Structure 1
Amino acid sequence: MNAPPVVEWTEADEARSARWRSENGAPPPRRIVIADDRMKADAAYKLACEGTALLWRGDFHNARQLLTAMTRRIDRRPRKTLPDDPAQAFHQHRAAQNQRARILGMLLVPLDATLTVPLHRAPDVRAACAQAYGPPPADTEDGTTDGTPPASPPTASVVSLRELLGLIGAYEWRKKGVEIPALGGDRIHPHYGVFSPARGEYVDLVAAAPLPAQDLAFDIGTGTGVLASVLARRGVRRVVATDQDPRALACARENTERLGVAGRVAVVEADLFPEGRAPLVVCNPPWVPAKPTTPIEYAVYDPGSRMLRGFLNGLADHLTPGGEGWLILSDLAEHLDLRPRSELTDAFATAGLKVVDRLDVTPRHPRARDTSDPLHVARAAEVTSLWRLTATD
């Protein structure tokens, strides 16, 4: 196994180092300066734009205010006019978003060995960090139970404040859960790094499509396990749900147990298909054929349509005679000129599949109505479809 990345800096005339934590795969900053409550927002923003990170040693709430001030400075910058070509506009917009994330990721906070933030007025983030990073070793416990940082702890690791706030938000989402109407209002609790079913329209499609059989179904790339749970609640007696991501596998198992369908849903590790055939095979792959820039983005972007093509090309060999494959896919990529409709239908034919029916739904999420979104035209035209496919043989 590769050693975890390390950050190095000078503090009080001494060379220091610590583990670098970045769930989005950002590289360790090469230059770090110490910052505290005396740091002005303009100075912090200038340093961050130049590629210098700021390791915060002041009040935690002041660090959050500084991050907000840096965000305002980015948002005040004039936006570049996006090109008329939708694909170019998409890639330029992504580049701008990545640059924004890089700058805001330059404000860093320390973590001690117990995953405590040793700063004044810092919240207790140990549970949130443990869910993302794993629990600290048992011998690092410091005896505190109220989140109070120990006196003068060493810096065991460093993380961007922006990522840490994301971990806290994900932890709260996991506790609260996402209400799923197709499950009668019961909730799915997404783990950190697992795609949340907040856009519920695709789940509604799976709840509405006519079942070809009720004895067995495969759910490919199950994620939170939401579609497997919907199928089980609809009366499918056995569902085999697959994924490769350890977080997704744990998340799906926890959700199916919580929803009372674990006895009918087997969650297994597999690259796409499990062994055997089924009368129903369901897949909701990432919708946009673009290269992810962070590990978490693999839930949204499918480079070269790898998962989509893998599902289509293997589907006929995993269907029982007369069985159906349900492909849930948005046409956002078509409106962005990233994948024409003909490429999708040609992929059906090449894989030996034919379309039996298609169920469509328009998005309900706020971004579809946000005219300030640079990609509003494409988002407003988006339609999500459930393609019912069968083998041509």
Structure 2
Amino acid sequence: MLALNDVAPPLHAVWTENDQARTARWPAENNSPPPKRIITADDTLSADDAYRLVSQGTSLLWRGDFHNARQLLQALARRIDKPKKAPRKKAELPTPLAVFNQHRLHQSQRTQLLNRLLIELDSNAAIALRRAPDVADACQAALGQIDEPFLLSLRALQGIIGAHEWQKKGVAIPALAHNIHVHYGVFSPNRGEYIDLVAQAPLPTKELAFDIGTGSGVLAAVLAQRGVRKVIGTDQDPRALACARENIERLGLSKVIDLQTADLFPVGASALIVCNPPWLPAKPTTPIERAIYDPESRMLLGFLNGLAGHLTPDGEGWLIMSDLAEHLGLRSRDFLLQAIAAAGLRVVDRMDARPKHPKAVDETDPLHEARRLEITSLWRLARA
């Protein structure tokens, strides 16, 4: 796997503790700068004081009980999420786009504040705090070997621990014989409706298929399970390719599926080319969000514009897309239809599915009004 500390020159955080200058690695995978101001904190710090400090831009390096740090993080989240007082005058109902932008802004600010509660780990990824868990294996899987002490936000550490548990447990896929195991930083196939569509759509060929942006390898595996004799999966992310390779080997499909590093298409043509690009045309703020947000619809348009040149004359391109962006006001249906036509393609058929994930029925979700209308579609495209 690609260790995050090999991606760019290492960054270091600096602080003063007990009148001594201290330094530690700052393994930020998106090259976010280390905190400018760090002070130590322990169990004597109240949640209100902690909230005041992080709101002023101060990061807190925790030296108290580990479980108390988790409780403090929850207390900070409650304060950040506390509803604002409603204005006295009745305001106009915001548009779905305004709701989305406000939600994204809140999430970004929330992440910044919560990430200011820090944990120090030694060169073996051990935490010298009372009741601290053993996180060495989880950190090794996510970050690679870091041969010096390093700092992580507690929130990021919790994400690494959770991802490691999911990697071991796996995600059940009804169309496959075994679970899909997802690495840290690779998008998890928790939303089953798009996988079901690929498992049910009529195959135009069983000779060769391309899976563009394979991620965990789940769609390539489903195609192989359906009897496609050769599948080429492409991705640019080394972590995704390593994850897909492990899943494919576990499923016994290594002789059928070939993984390649490529920006979209491999060399050659196929009668079936599948792509499940990020569904929302917005800027990701973290690497994992690249599986959700596609700035300026780059991957969507790249797939459509290159599809005709890689399809055999009677082949089909399967575009798997949610229409959530349309309900949020981020993109119109006309935009998609015009992009398909401009790429020299026509729609053969469209298969639709309603989402089954919990957020689709969660009325407390700020985006519920859009999510309740969402439909995921498999667009069967051919040359015009």
**Higher mean C-alpha displacement, 91-100 vs 19-28:** 19-28
Residue 47 of structure 1 corresponds to which residue in structure 2? 53
Distance 2:119 2:238 in 1: 27
Pair 1:129 & 2:139 matched: yes
Deviations 1:109-166 (A, max 9, x none): 00111111121221110111011111345xxxxxxxxxxxxxxxxx711110000000
Residue 204 of structure 1 corresponds to which residue in structure 2? 196
- 2:172 is aligned, of 168, 173, 179, to 179
Which residue identity is paired with 2:294?
Answer: D
Distance 1:19 1:95 in 2: 29
Q: How does 1:53-72 map to 2 (within 5 A)?
A: 53-72=59-78
Which residue identity is paired with 1:34?
Answer: T
Q: TM-score, normalised by structure 1?
A: 0.92
Residue 287 of structure 1 corresponds to which residue in structure 2? 279
Residue 81 of structure 2 corresponds to which residue in structure 1? 75
Q: Match of 1:358, SS?
A: strand
Distance 1:77 1:326 in 2: 42
Pair 1:32 & 2:38 matched: yes
Residue 100 of structure 2 corresponds to which residue in structure 1? 90
Distance 1:266 1:27 in 2: 37
Q: How does 1:217-256 map to 2 (within 5 A)?
A: 217-256=209-248
Distance 1:266 1:330 in 2: 27
Asked if structure 2 preserves the Cα contact closer than 8 Å seen for 1:90 and 1:375, the reply is yes
Which residue identity is paired with 1:88?
Answer: A
- 1:117 is aligned, of 127, 132, 141, to 127
Which segments of 5 or more consecutive residues in structure 2 lack a partner in the other structure? 1-6
Which residue identity is paired with 2:246?
Answer: E
Residue 155 of structure 2 corresponds to which residue in structure 1? 162
Distance 1:84 1:361 in 2: 28
Residue 3 of structure 2 corresponds to which residue in structure 1? none
Residue 372 of structure 1 corresponds to which residue in structure 2? 364
Pair 1:337 & 2:343 matched: no
Which residue identity is paired with 1:253?
Answer: R
Distance 2:243 2:316 in 1: 27
Deviation (angstroms), 1:28: 1.6
Residue 16 of structure 1 corresponds to which residue in structure 2? 22
Distance 1:187 1:83 in 2: 44
Asked if structure 2 preserves the Cα contact closer than 8 Å seen for 1:182 and 1:230, the reply is yes
Deviation (angstroms), 1:2: 4.3
Residue 308 of structure 2 corresponds to which residue in structure 1? 316
**Higher mean C-alpha displacement, 231-240 vs 12-21:** 12-21
Which residue identity is paired with 2:170?
Answer: G
Deviations 1:254-303 (A, max 9, x none): 00111111110001111100000001000000000001112221110000
Deviation (angstroms), 1:15: 1.5
Which residue identity is paired with 1:305?
Answer: S
Distance 1:82 1:220 in 2: 43
Pair 1:274 & 2:280 matched: no
**Higher mean C-alpha displacement, 170-179 vs 56-65:** 56-65
Deviation (angstroms), 1:42: 0.9
Aligned residues: 374
Asked if structure 2 preserves the Cα contact closer than 8 Å seen for 1:225 and 1:241, the reply is yes
Asked if structure 2 preserves the Cα contact closer than 8 Å seen for 1:167 and 1:192, the reply is yes
Q: TM-score, normalised by structure 2?
A: 0.95
Which segments of 5 or more consecutive residues in structure 1 lack a partner in the other structure? 138-154
